[in-house]
Amino acid sequence: MATITLQNIRKEYGSDVAIENMNLDIRDGEFVTLVGPSGCGKSTTIEMIAGLTKPTSGTIRIGERDVTALPPKDRGIAMVFQNIALFPHKDVYDNISFGLQLRDFDKAEMDRRVEEAADTVQLNGMLDRMPSEMSGGQRQRVAIARAIVREPDVFLMDEPLANLDAELRVHMRTQLQRLHSKLDTTIVYVTHDQAQAMTMSNRIAVINDGRLQQIDPPLTCYHEPANRFVAGFIGSPAMNFMRGEITPTGFESESGRVDVEFDPAAIGVSTGQDVTLGVRPEHVIPVENAVGEVTAPVETYTDVMEPMGDEIFVYLVTSRGETVDMEDPSASGQILMNVGPETPVEADQQLSVVFDKTNLHLFDADTEEALAHGLAEPVRVDTGTTSADAEAESDD
Amino acid sequence: MSQATQQERPDDEPRGAFTNWVDSAIKNPEKVYRAMFFVVVIFFLLTTLFPLYWLTMIALSDSNRVSEGVGLLPTGFDPGSFVEIFQQIPLHLYLFNSFVFATLTTIFVLIIASLAGYAFGRLQFRGKRTLLLTVLVISFFPPASFFIPLFQLFSQQISFLGLTPPELYSTPGGVVIPLSAIFMPLAIFILTTFYGQIPDGLEDAARIEGTTRLGALFRVIVPLSAPGVATAGILTFIAVYNEFFFSFLMTGAQAQDWAPIVDGIISYQSQFQIRYDLMAAASIVAVVPVAILVVVAQEKIVSGLTSGALKE
C-alpha cells in the first residue's frame, strides 16, 4: 500500500511563502498530476514528497509511515527528472542498476531486474551504451527504467516529457499510461501542460500561488471547475469570461450586450451581486446552429480567424473597431468561438451568437469561487462539501 | 593635379622587404598570431628546458673536471655519477620520504577540500561568503610566519591544559599537517568551482536512488569533476614534493629521520669538496617521479565528461 498524504504543508523560502496549507490525499495506485503555471509550487511539492526539500511545517506520509524527516533514499520512491539526470560517467546498465548496487543486490538478481526494466521500456541491447551516445527519447527511457527497476512504492515524475519534441512527447505519454496500468504503482506527475494532465491522470490537482485549487478527475475539473482559475487553466483554448452583475431575471454583462436569463434565487445569488460569467469556446454557437437551451443572441463581429483544419477558432468582438486589451482580452469584450470546419464564417463580418445555457459557469467576482455550473436548470454549487468527496462516493 | 593625388604613392615605386611583410601581415593577421605563438612557446621551452639540459651536462661531466666549468657539452664524460649518488647516501630513502609527504598531503587535501568544496559550491548557507574569504585571507599569510609556533608545538615545548601534544617533529605528521593547511585553500577554490558546476539534478537523482549527500559527492560529483580533482591533486603533489621550508626544518638531516630530498642533495657537499656532478644527477633523478605522475594523470583527465548528461 502506498498512499501519499500531505497534511498542512507549508514551505517558506526566506520570507517568501512557496506553499501554503497544502492538503493532498493520493490513493494507492492512483495517477495524480500536479498542474499549474510556472512558479506555482508544484515542483516544490513533488520535491517535498521526494525528500529533496524539507517542508517548513506539516506532515508527509507515504503509506502508513511518517516520512517528513526521512532522507530520500529511505522513502521507497523513485523519480524521473525534467532534465533526465542520467549519470554521464556510467553506461546504461550502471545507470539503471545504480540504486540496486547501492543496496547490495546480488549480481544475478540485478541482471534479471535490469533486463526486465530494459524490456519494459524497450531498451534491449543498449545496456552497454553511454548516455551521450543516445537520443533524447532513449535517455528518457533509461531514466524511466532506472526508476522502475527498484520496484518503488511511489513514482514521482517532474515534467519528464518537457524536453522532448512534440511527436515524441505524445508517444511517451501513451507509453507512460501503459506503464501505469502495467505496474499499478502510485504515480505523482508534475506538469505545466494541461493537455498531459487531462490525458494521463486519474485525478488532477490544480495548484496556483502555492495553494491547491481543486483535486478532481480531469473531466470534473473541466466541467465543474471549482473557481475561475481552474476554469481558465484547464481546457485549451481557455474559457471566455465576462464580468457583470445579477439582475432580477438573471445575468447582465457590464457592456450590457450579453444577457442570460435564469432564476437567481435557485443558485442563491442576490440581485446586484458582481459575478463573472464563463463560457468555453465550443459552447459559443452561431445563432442559426443553435439547438437546445441557449441564451438570447449576442450581436458580435468576427475579428481574427484561426482555421485549424478540424475546427476554426473565431475571435469575436462585441463592437466593431474596439481595441482589444492584450492583458485581459475578455474584459474588453473579446469572445473566442470554436466551431466546426464547415461553418460559414468569414473575417470582419457581423455574426449573432448564442451560448449553450447548460454549459455556462458563474463565478463570484470577488472570491472567484464557482457559484453555479449550467444555467439551464441552475444548480447551486454546494460549497459545504468538496467535489472530491462527491467523487469518492460515486466510486463506491 | 590636386595635392591628394600627389601624396599617393605611385604603384611602381619599389618597396622594401619589411614593408611587404607588414602589408601582408595586415592583410593576413593569422600569420602574426602564429609567429607570436612560436615566439612565446620557444621562449617558455628554453627557460624551462635549458636548466634541465645544463643539469644533465653537469651530471655527465667528469667529477674531477667540473670545477673547470661546464658549457653546452659536458667537460669530460662520466655517467657513473648516476650510480654513485645511490652509493654515497641512501638517496632512494630521501626520495621515498618526499614522496610520502606529497602523497599523504595530497590525499588529505583532496578529501577535506572535497567536503569544503561541496559545501561552498553546492549549498546555500549564511556566512558562506565570509567563510570563503577567510580561507582566502589565511592563504595570504607567508608560511614562514606559522613556523615557530608550529615547531614549538610539534617538538613538545608547549603544553595546553596540562596536556602535551604528541611529538611530531621528525615524523611525516610534522610536515604533512602544516603543508596540508597551507595548500588547502587553493584546492578548495579549484574544487568549489568544479563541484558548483555539476547540475543539481544529478545529485538529486543519486540521492533518490539511495545515496546520502556524502555518497552522492563521492560517487557522482567527484567522478564528474575528474579534471578539477586531478588539477588540485597534481598542483598539491608537486608543490609539496618541491617544498623546502617545512620539510627541511621539521625533520632531521638523516633519511631515517624523514629527511626530504633536499637534505639528501645537500649531503653531497662535505667539508672538503662539493660534488656538483652528484648534486645535478640527484636533482634529475628527483624530477623523474613527478614527471611520470604528470604524464599519467594527464591521460586520466578526460574533459567534456558531462556532455550528454542533461538536456538543457
Out of B204, B215, B311, closest to residue A163 by CB: B311
Structural domain including B219 reads: 81-300
Regarding whether B270 and B140 lie in a shared domain, the answer is yes
Q: What is the pLDDT of residues A147-157, one digit of tens each?
A: 999 889 899 99
Measured in angstroms, the CA of B195 and the nearest CA of chain A are apart by: 15
Regarding whether B292 and B166 lie in a shared domain, the answer is yes
User: Is B239 within a domain?
Assistant: yes
Mean pLDDT of A217-223: 93
pTM for this prediction? 0.78
Mean pLDDT of A103-109: 92
Regarding whether B95 and B60 lie in a shared domain, the answer is no
Amino acid at A317: V
C-alpha to C-alpha distance for A192 and A43, rounded to whole angstroms: 10
What are the DSSP calls for B208-269, one per residue? Answer: HHT--HHHHIIIIIHHHTHHHHHHHHHHHHHHHHH--HHHHHSS-SSGGGT--HHHHHHTTB
Residue of B nearest to A13 (CA): B124
Regarding whether B119 and B47 lie in a shared domain, the answer is no
Q: CA triplet A159, A162, A167: central angle to 5 degrees?
A: 130
Number of domains in chain B: 2
Regarding whether B207 and B110 lie in a shared domain, the answer is yes
User: Is B231 within a domain?
Assistant: yes
C-alpha to C-alpha distance for A378 and A374, rounded to whole angstroms: 6
User: Is B210 within a domain?
Assistant: yes
**Comparing B304 with A347, which gets the higher pLDDT?**
A347
Do A89 and B224 lie within an 8 Å CB cutoff?
A: yes
Cell of B87: 652509493
Specify the pLDDT at position A223.
Answer: 92
Residue of B nearest to A132 (CA): B308
Regarding whether B289 and B214 lie in a shared domain, the answer is yes
**Residue B211 sits at the chain A interface (C-beta within 8 Å):** yes
Mean pLDDT of A273-298: 88
Cell of B72: 653546452
Q: Pick the residue of B124, B203, B208 with the most A CBs within 10 A to test the interface with A by mutation.
A: B208
Residue of B nearest to A152 (CA): B209
Regarding whether B152 and B27 lie in a shared domain, the answer is no
C-alpha to C-alpha distance for A204 and A31, rounded to whole angstroms: 9
Last residue of a domain, one of B46, B68, B90: B68
Residue of B nearest to A91 (CA): B309
Classify the phi-psi angles of A22: left when phi > 0, otherwise alpha if psi is within -120 to 50, otherwise beta: beta
Handedness of CA B195, B197, B198, B201 (dihedral sign): positive
C-alpha to C-alpha distance for A105 and A108, rounded to whole angstroms: 8
Which parts of chain B sit beneath pLDDT 70?
1-14, 298-312
Regarding whether B164 and B111 lie in a shared domain, the answer is yes
Regarding whether B251 and B122 lie in a shared domain, the answer is yes
Name the band, by pLDDT with cuts 50, 70 and 90, for residue A384.
very low
Alpha-carbon distances of B164 from A126, A202, B226, rounded to whole Å: 62, 70, 41
Specify the pLDDT at position A395.
Answer: 41
Out of A79, A83, A163, closest to residue B208 by CB: A79
Q: What is the pLDDT of residues A31-83, one digit of tens each?
A: 999 999 988 999 999 999 999 999 999 999 999 899 999 999 999 899 999 88
Q: For residue A152, what are the contacts with CB-CB under 8 A and spacing of at least 6?
A: A76, A77, A78, A185
C-alpha to C-alpha distance for A321 and B203, rounded to whole angstroms: 56
C-alpha to C-alpha distance for B220 and B214, rounded to whole angstroms: 10
User: Is B214 within a domain?
Assistant: yes
Chain A, residues 205-224, CB within 8 A of chain B, namely none
3-state secondary structure labels for all residues of chain A: CCCEEEEEEEEEECCEEEEEEEEEEECCCCEEEEECCCCCCHHHHHHHHHCCCCCCEEEEEECCEECCCCCHHHCCEEEECCCCCCCCCCCHHHHHHHHHHHCCCCHHHHHHHHHHHHHHCCCCCCCCCCHHHCCHHHHHHHHHHHHHCCCCCEEEEECCCCCCCHHHHHHHHHHHHHHHHHHCCEEEEEECCHHHHHHHCCEEEEEECCEEEEEECHHHHHHCCCEHHHHHHCCCCCCEEEEEEEECCEEEECCCCCEEECCHHHHCCCCCCEEEEEECHHHEEEHHHCCCCECCCEEEEEEEEEECCCCEEEEEECCCCCCCCCCCHHHHCEEEEEECCCCCCCCCCEEEEEEEHHHEEEEECCCCEEEEECCCCCCECCCCCCHHHHHHHHHC
**Residue B149 sits at the chain A interface (C-beta within 8 Å):** no
Regarding whether B120 and B200 lie in a shared domain, the answer is yes
**Residue B300 sits at the chain A interface (C-beta within 8 Å):** no
User: Is B264 within a domain?
Assistant: yes
C-alpha to C-alpha distance for B280 and B271, rounded to whole angstroms: 19
Chain B, residues 9-68, CB within 8 A of chain A, namely none
Do A73 and B305 lie within an 8 Å CB cutoff?
A: no
Cβ-contact A294, A285 below 8 angstroms = yes
User: Is B35 within a domain?
Assistant: yes
Report chain A residues whose CB lies below 8 A from the CB of B311.
Answer: 83-84, 136, 139, 163
Residue of A nearest to B203 (CA): A85
**Residue B310 sits at the chain A interface (C-beta within 8 Å):** yes
User: Is B124 within a domain?
Assistant: yes
Cβ-contact A200, A194 below 8 angstroms = no
Residue of A nearest to B199 (CA): A85
Q: What is the pLDDT of residues A233-262, one digit of tens each?
A: 998 888 999 888 898 888 888 877 788 888
Regarding whether B58 and B86 lie in a shared domain, the answer is no
| Domains, chain A, with CATH or none | 4-228 (3.40.50.300), 237-380 (2.40.50.140)
Cell of A283: 459552447
Specify the pLDDT at position A62.
Answer: 93
Regarding whether B185 and B148 lie in a shared domain, the answer is yes
Count the alpha carbons within 13 Å of B134 in the hemisphere toward its beta carbon: 7
Mean pLDDT of A356-362: 90
Do A163 and B210 lie within an 8 Å CB cutoff?
A: no
Report chain B residues whose CB lies below 8 A from the CB of A92.
Answer: none
Question: What CATH code is carried by the domain that includes residue B99?
Answer: 1.10.3720.10
A311 exposed, middle or buried (CB, 10 Å; 0-12, 13-18, 19+)? middle
- ω into B14 cis (within 30 of 0): no
User: Is B5 within a domain?
Assistant: no
Q: Which long-range contacts (CB under 8 A, 24 or more apart) does A7-10 make?
A: A7/A58, A7/A59, A7/A60, A7/A61, A8/A57, A8/A58, A8/A59, A9/A45, A9/A48, A9/A55, A9/A57, A9/A58, A9/A59, A9/A60, A10/A55, A10/A56, A10/A57, A10/A58
Name the band, by pLDDT with cuts 50, 70 and 90, for residue A321.
low
Count the alpha carbons within 13 Å of A295 in the hemisphere toward its beta carbon: 31
**Ranked by mean pLDDT, which of A135-139, A372-376, B8-12 comes out on top?**
A135-139
Cβ-contact A304, A388 below 8 angstroms = no
Q: Please choose, from the candidates B224, B246, B231, the residue with its C-alpha nearest in 3D space to the C-alpha of residue B304.
A: B224
C-alpha to C-alpha distance for B108 and B102, rounded to whole angstroms: 10
Interface size, chain A vs chain B, as Cβ–Cβ contacts under 8 Å: 84
